[in-house]
Amino acid sequence: MEDCLFCKFVSKELKTNIVYENEDFIVFKDIAPQAKNHFLAVPKKHFKYLADMTEEDAALLGRILKTIPTLKDVLELKGGYRLVINQGDDAGQTVPHLHIHILSGQKMGWTPA
């Protein structure tokens, strides 16, 4: 999608620090980390909301969720981790391309905004 930051990372029009990539998604470091380790898993396909997903998108998201734990070394997941998907303004979604926050490296209390 034009003018989508994360689509530009996917297409490599803009450079970011990609630590993992497969046919479904890319993973890169969040520019403003909210934990010791903070990565974003971004589907290559553009959609904003879980509510917009087709069955095919749901399968894609399932594959991403299944792959994340296999990346335990590169994402430093061994002590435990948290996955977050912000949806809409009240949740603080700022980038209109669905993404999964992957946070690890420290004890995290329940800290919604």
Chain positions contacting ligand AMP, by CB under 6 A: 5, 16, 30-32, 40, 86, 92-95
* Residue 78: other Cβ atoms inside 10 A: 10
Task: Compute the distance between CA of residue 77 and CA of residue 59 in angstroms, rounded to an integer.
Answer: 23
The site partner of 59 among ligand AMP, Zn ion, none (C-beta below 5 to 8 Å per kind) is none
The site partner of 50 among ligand AMP, Zn ion, none (C-beta below 5 to 8 Å per kind) is none
Cβ atoms of 30 and 40 within 8 Å: the answer is yes
Return the number of the residue (3 or 55) whose C-beta is nearest ligand AMP: 3
What is the three-class DSSP state of 50? helix
Q: Catalytic residue at 99?
A: yes
What residues make contact with Zn ion under the rule CB under 5 A? 1, 4, 6-7, 46, 97
